[in-house]
Amino acid sequence: MTERRVIVQKEVIRSGVGFGSALAIAISFTTHKSVLWAIVHGLFSWFYVAYYVLTR
């Protein structure tokens, strides 16, 4: 049971990071119209998404 829980938890974390990066890139490109900023914000992923939500 414990092994299954660990595998599921790792999969959720991996999916969350991917979605956070994609969301940050989409928000950044829509806002700034710059590929460079989109890449930078994609690296920060959820931090940028939280910043964007808090400052809007």
Q: Provide the whole-model pTM.
A: 0.68
Cα separation, 33 vs 18, in Å, equals 21
Does some domain include residue 42? yes
Cα separation of 4 and 30, whole Å?
39
Q: Which domain holds residue 25?
A: 17-55
Q: Quote the pLDDT of residue 4.
A: 60
Q: Is residue 26 part of a domain?
A: yes
Distance of alpha carbon 39 from alpha carbon 18, whole angstroms: 13
Of the candidates 15, 13, 39, the one whose C-alpha atom is nearest the C-alpha of residue 26 is: 39
Model pLDDT, residue 17:
63
The distance from CA 48 to its chain's CA centroid, rounded to whole angstroms, is: 8
User: Do 45 and 20 meet the contact criterion of CB atoms below 8 Å apart?
Assistant: yes
Domain count, the chain: 1
3 falls within a domain: no
**pLDDT (tens digit per residue) in 1-44:** 555 665 555 665 666 668 889 999 999 999 999 999 999 999 99
Domain contains 28: yes
